[in-house]
């Protein structure tokens, strides 16, 4: 039996072995899959940048980010400082108002107390003028009372012969005389009292004017 024509031998296809391991067995480095390779112009860092240039570019970007954060932090700090300064100014003004109101209230209370004691001081002065306090036990008491009130700034005024001043004197009697060259106090009917420069009660006097 005659054998038929033999078919030409088909060339054998080369065997391709694809190494899909992520680690390079020789270097131990992580391999980059072909699909992950960057294409020039496709975004990201240019493919033609070497490692030093890419690191420099990353450093510049990092510096820019830090600069932006620092500017934002400084702006916030200035805003908080402005708020603190305003609060401090408001507190200082509040303390000043409180201190001023306290001083006014204290002065008002002191004035009211001293005015209430003026009739007592009038009686003491009348008793002194009539000699009722000389050698008596009330002389020491009256002296201590007047000294204590003097520590609060109370003082008595009004003397015979002093010039008449309508801002501190109240003229209840008036006369004329050629012996005077100006209006003067000739009689103190009731002494005046003041605290510092404030008149609590004007001195009630009789005056004489030039004729």
Report pTM. Answer: 0.55
The pLDDT value recorded for residue 63 is 73
Q: Which of 151, 156, 92, 153 is nearest to 121 (CA)?
A: 156
Q: What is the pLDDT of residue 40?
A: 45
Least Cα distance to 111 among 15, 196, 210, 174 occurs for 196
Strands 192-195 and 203-210: unpaired
Polymer length in residues for the chain: 211
Check residue 147 and give its pLDDT.
92
Angle of helix 51-129 versus helix 138-150 axis, rounded to 10:
150
Ramachandran assignment for 7, one of left (phi > 0), alpha (psi -120 to 50 degrees), beta (any other)? beta
Q: Hey, what domains does the chain have and what are their CATH numbers?
A: 155-211 (2.30.22.10)
Strand order in the sheet with 198-201: 154-157, 192-195, 198-201
In degrees to the nearest 10, what's the CA dihedral of 167, 170, 175, 176?
A: 0
* Contact criterion met (CB below 8 Å) for 164 and 183: yes
Question: pLDDT (tens digit, 0 to 9) for every residue of the chain, 211 residues total?
Answer: 445 455 555 555 555 556 666 666 666 565 565 544 444 444 444 545 566 666 667 667 777 777 888 888 888 898 899 999 999 999 999 999 999 999 999 889 999 999 999 999 999 988 888 888 887 778 888 889 999 999 999 999 999 999 999 999 999 999 999 899 999 999 999 999 999 889 999 999 999 999 8
Nearest to 168 by CA among 189, 146, 198: 198
**101: which DSSP letter?**
H
- The sign one gets for the Cα dihedral 160, 164, 170, 171 is positive
b/e 57-91 (16+ beta carbons within 10 angstroms → b): eeeeeeeeeeeeeeeeeeeeeeeeeeeeeeeeeee
Which residues have C-beta within 8 Å of that of residue 17, sequence separation ≥ 6?
none
């Amino acid at each position: 039996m005659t054998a038929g024509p033999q078919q030409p031998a088909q060339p054998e296809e080369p065997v391709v072995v694809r190494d899909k391991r992520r680690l390079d067995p020789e270097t131990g480095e992580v391999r980059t899959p072909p699909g992950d390779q960057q294409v020039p112009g496709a975004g990201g860092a240019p493919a033609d940048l070497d490692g030093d240039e890419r690191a420099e570019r990353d450093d510049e970007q990092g510096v820019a980010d830090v600069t932006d954060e620092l500017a934002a932090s400084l702006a916030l700090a200035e805003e908080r400082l402005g708020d603190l300064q305003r609060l401090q100014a408001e507190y200082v003004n509040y303390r000043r108002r409180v201190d001023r109101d306290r001083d006014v209230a204290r002065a008002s209370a002191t004035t009211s107390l001293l005015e209430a004691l003026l009739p007592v001081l009038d009686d003491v002065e009348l008793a002194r003028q009539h000699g009722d306090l000389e050698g008596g036990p009330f002389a020491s008491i009256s002296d201590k009372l007047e000294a204590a009130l003097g520590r609060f700034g109370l003082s008595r005024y009004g003397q015979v012969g002093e010039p008449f001043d309508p801002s501190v004197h109240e003229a209840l009697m008036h006369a004329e005389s050629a012996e005077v060259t100006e209006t003067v106090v000739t009689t103190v009917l009731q002494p005046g009292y003041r605290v510092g420069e404030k008149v609590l009660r004007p001195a009630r006097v009789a005056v004489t004017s030039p004729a």
